């Protein structure tokens, strides 16, 4: 099932952390296993990295704390080694890091160096994108990572009901479009030509952190963006390139886009005003952040919509 | 109240949706045979229990529910004649398996409204999601706004009237009854329909498998005029086109098993 949500403020930053938490919490029944966020902050801190040092389910295993300390040390060492000037390193939880670095080299090389450390995964990288995902419901994850204070222009989120893989962070959305900074995707549905696209993208040198079909949407779109295709065109082309049922939301540094497959099999409810757009799998999520009577609509099949800041 | 309170003996509830101990909150203001209550802060089950308390035990005929907040599964399983007025929007699976009520919704409804409705009238002022009137058996379902995909899937009777546009596969596998779509319809209209009629006032993107156009008869025009007039649509019936099953996929005989036994 799974639930997806997104919000974009076209008139400047808002309380996106609090808003997307309320939206996702109201859809907890669509997915109680894990919750994920992709938020866009004000930027200006250089590059922001969100890194997972270990999966929380491993807590309590032999040498857990020593492993984390060793990995943390290794991450900072390797960042310095690839020429990144490390600014701040916050341990948001014992197994999750938020680091700001000054770096203008090859992002893929930086990420590969970090991910070469056993157990480590770069959840997001970019000048303003920050991905937070963990087990538990939206409020639990938001509290753990202090997201209520997050101020930004746009955000998306996902509540997951694990059906095809384990309940762990690797299977949680949103997916960052490694190795392209500032692009992330949440998806509700199943892609039937996943393996085909995965092989195609792997041939171009991309790595996948999970077995999840949603991850290829992010890389597929980012690959197009990197080749100079506009987000509108990329999202439209995905309607022909991706098979299966899907409603996905993609975010970049300055845009938010959605696409719905040609069978219109997965729900999406949209609320749009001049200053903001909110969308979710269920209207109840939009009503969690709008306190007055509103008019919403469902996009039709093969609709591809993009809003830009 | 056994019929009202279920879910006893529940042992597993991963999504935290069940409320086995929920009781009607008794918050309604009752005035003779009329009652109203504010649904803000009430759970789906509390709202439904309050509705049932009023309609089945409180001698109430007309209920107004304020601020339903797009919650799911509201107003389901009401099996008596009464009137219910929702001031706001309903979520998914609203008003399912109802038999008798006259319902108005001032906002919109989500997916699968009035699934398997047996009789009654439901009027929604704004949009509806997909699967509107799925497996509808009887009654009138009126949506003044647009509807999503697969409207009236598996419809077995009754009338679905849409003031705006309809999405793809409208009337998919429809078996009986009629649909009146005042606006445009998406691709695959009437795909694999068995019987029944779909009247479209706007443009049709394309027809589904085994769906064909038929001339409007006097009886069709009369039905259209009556239904459109009844719900205040001023569109002239003459502008509608009628779509029915082409029956080229009818590869079985038309007898029910019981009838076949009689003949053979």
Mean pLDDT (whole number) for B199-211? 97
pLDDT of residue B9: 66
**Peptide bond before residue B136 is cis, with ω within 30 degrees of 0:** no
- Which of B16, B149, B189 is most worth mutating to test chain A (most A CB atoms within 10 A of its CB)? B149
Shortest Cα–Cα distance, B251 to chain A (Å): 27
Of B111, B127, B149, the CB nearest to A301: B149
Q: What is the pLDDT of residue B19?
A: 82
Contact B54, B30 (CB under 8 A): yes
Take residue A216 and report the two structure tokens written for it: 């290829």
Whether A301 sits inside 8 A of B186 (CB atoms) is: yes
What chain B residue is nearest to A265 in terms of C-alpha separation? B149
- Residues of B within 8 A of A260 (CB-CB) are none
| Residue B13 banded pLDDT, cuts 50, 70, 90 | confident
Write out pLDDT tens, residues A3-62: 999 999 999 999 999 999 999 999 999 998 999 999 999 888 899 999 999 999 888 899
pLDDT at A163 (0 to 100): 78
Q: What is the pTM of this model?
A: 0.92
Q: Report, as ranges of residue numbers, the positions in chain A whose pLDDT lies below 50.
A: none
Is the model's pLDDT at B6 over the cut of 70? no
Which residues in chain A are closer than 8 Å to B69, comparing Cβ atoms?
Answer: 284, 287
Contact A269/B17, CB-based, under 8 Å? no
User: Does A28 sit within 8 Å of B15, measured CB to CB?
Assistant: yes
Say whether B130 and A295 touch across the interface (CB within 8 A): no
Q: Using an 8 Å Cβ cutoff, are B127 and B145 in contact? A: yes
The residue-averaged pLDDT of B123-135 equals 97
Separation between Cα atoms, residue B49 and residue B75, nearest integer Å: 9
Query: With bands split at pLDDT 50, 70 and 90, how would you rate the model's confidence at B5?
Result: very low
Return mean pLDDT, chain B. 92
pLDDT of residue A247: 96
Please state the rounded mean pLDDT for residues B117-134: 97
A267·B149 Cβ contact <8 A: no
Contact yes or no for B91 and A297 at CB 8 A: no
Question: Cβ contact (<8 Å) for A282 and B92?
Answer: yes
Task: Domain ranges for chain B, please list them.
Answer: 1-126, 134-264
The set of catalytic residues of A is 2
User: CA of A29: which chain B residue's CA is closest?
Assistant: B15
- Chain B residue with minimum CA distance to A32: B15
pLDDT of res. B200: 98
3-state secondary structure B102-169: EEEECCCECCCCCCCCCEEEEEECCCECCCCCCCCCCCEEEECCCCCCCCCCCCEEEEEEECCCECCC
Q: Which of A32, A282, A284 sits opposite B14 (nearest CB)?
A: A32
Cβ <8 Å between B108 and A264: no
- The count of other CB atoms within 10 Å of the CB of residue A67 is 17
Written as six digits, the tokens of B157 are: 């009777």
Task: Please give, rounded to a whole number of angstroms, the shortest distance from the CA of B17 to a CA of chain A.
Answer: 7
Give all domains of chain A, ordered by start, each with its CATH number.
3-41+137-308 (3.60.20.10), 44-127 (3.30.70.260)
Confidence band for B251, pLDDT divided at 50, 70 and 90: confident
> What string of DSSP letters covers A145-200?
HTGGG--BSEEEEEEE--SSS-SSGGGPSPEE-TTSTT-EEEEEEEETTHHHHHHH
A280 to chain B nearest CA, in Å? 12
Residues in A touching B91 (Cβ below 8 Å): 282-284
Q: Answer whether residue B10 shows pLDDT above 70.
A: no
Is residue A238 a contact partner of residue A225, using CB atoms and an 8 Å limit? Answer: no
3-class secondary structure, A90: strand
Closest CB to B91: pick one of A28, A262, A284: A284
Determine, for residues A28 and B16 on separate chains, whether the beta-carbon distance falls below 8 Å: yes
pLDDT digits (tens, 9 = 90+) for B86-104: 999 999 999 999 999 999 9
Of B14, B88, B167, the CB nearest to A300: B167
Structure-token pair, residue A171: 């299977």
Q: Using CA atoms of A120, A121, A126, A127 in order, give the dihedral in degrees to the nearest 10.
A: -40
User: Number of Cβ pairs closer than 8 Å across A and B?
Assistant: 72
Task: State the pLDDT at residue B7.
Answer: 54
Can you give the pLDDT at residue B1?
A: 40
Query: A307 CA to chain B: closest CA distance, Å?
Result: 22
């Amino acid at each position: 099932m799974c639930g997806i949500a997104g919000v974009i403020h076209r008139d400047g930053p808002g309380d996106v952390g609090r808003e997307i938490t309320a939206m996702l919490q109201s859809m907890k029944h669509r997915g109680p296993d894990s919750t994920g966020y992709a938020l866009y902050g004000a930027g200006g801190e250089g590059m922001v990295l969100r890194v997972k040092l270990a999966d929380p389910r491993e807590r309590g295993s032999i040498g857990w704390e020593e492993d984390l300390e060793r990995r943390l040390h290794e991450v900072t060492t390797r960042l310095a080694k690839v020429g990144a000037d490390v600014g701040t390193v916050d341990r948001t939880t014992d197994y999750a890091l938020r680091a700001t670095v000054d770096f203008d080299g090859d992002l893929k090389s930086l990420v590969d160096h970090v991910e070469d450390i056993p157990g480590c995964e770069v959840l997001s990288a970019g000048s303003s994108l920050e991905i937070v995902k963990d087990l538990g419901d939206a409020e639990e994850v938001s509290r753990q990572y202090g997201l209520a204070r997050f101020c930004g222009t746009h955000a998306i989120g996902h509540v997951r009901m694990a059906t095809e893989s384990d309940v762990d962070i690797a299977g949680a959305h949103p997916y960052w479009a490694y190795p392209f900074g500032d692009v992330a995707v949440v998806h509700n549905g199943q892609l039937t030509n996943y393996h085909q696209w995965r092989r195609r993208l792997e041939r171009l040198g991309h790595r996948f952190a999970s077995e999840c079909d949603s991850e290829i949407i992010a890389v597929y779109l980012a690959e197009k963006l990197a080749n100079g295709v506009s987000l509108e065109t990329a999202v439209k082309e995905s309607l022909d390139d991706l098979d299966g049922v899907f409603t996905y939301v993609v975010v970049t540094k300055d845009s938010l886009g959605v696409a719905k497959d040609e069978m219109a099999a997965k729900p999406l409810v949209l609320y749009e005003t001049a200053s903001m757009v909110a969308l979710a799998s269920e209207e109840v999520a939009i009503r969690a952040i709008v306190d007055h009577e509103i008019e919403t609509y469902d996009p039709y099949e093969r609709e591809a919509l993009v809003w830009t800041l | 109240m056994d019929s009202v309170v279920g879910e006893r003996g529940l042992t597993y509830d991963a999504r935290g949706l069940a409320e086995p101990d929920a009781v009607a909150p008794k918050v309604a203001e009752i005035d003779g045979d009329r009652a109203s209550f504010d649904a803000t802060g009430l759970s789906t089950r509390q709202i439904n229990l309050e509705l049932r308390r009023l309609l089945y035990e409180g001698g109430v005929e007309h209920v107004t529910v304020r601020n339903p907040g797009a919650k799911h599964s509201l107003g389901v399983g009401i099996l008596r004649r009464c009137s219910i007025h929702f001031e706001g929007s309903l979520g998914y699976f609203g008003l399912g398996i109802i038999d008798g009520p006259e319902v108005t919704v001032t906002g919109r409804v989500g997916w699968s409204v009035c699934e398997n409705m047996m009789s009654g009238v439901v009027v929604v002022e704004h949009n509806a999601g997909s699967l509107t009137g799925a497996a509808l058996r009887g009654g009138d379902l009126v949506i003044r706004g647009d509807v999503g995909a697969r409207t009236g899937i598996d419809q077995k009777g009754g009338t679905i009237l849409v003031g705006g546009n309809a999405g793809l596969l409208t009337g998919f596998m429809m078996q009986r009854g009629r649909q009146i779509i005042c606006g445009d319809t998406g691709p695959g209209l009437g795909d694999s329909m068995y019987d029944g009629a779909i009247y479209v006032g706007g443009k049709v993107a394309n027809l589904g498998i085994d769906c064909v156009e038929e001339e409007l008869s006097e009886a069709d025009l009369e039905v259209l005029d009556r239904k459109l007039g009844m719900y205040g649509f001023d569109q002239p019936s003459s502008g509608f086109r009628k779509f029915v099953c082409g029956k080229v996929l009818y590869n079985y005989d038309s007898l029910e098993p019981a009838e076949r036994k009689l003949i053979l």
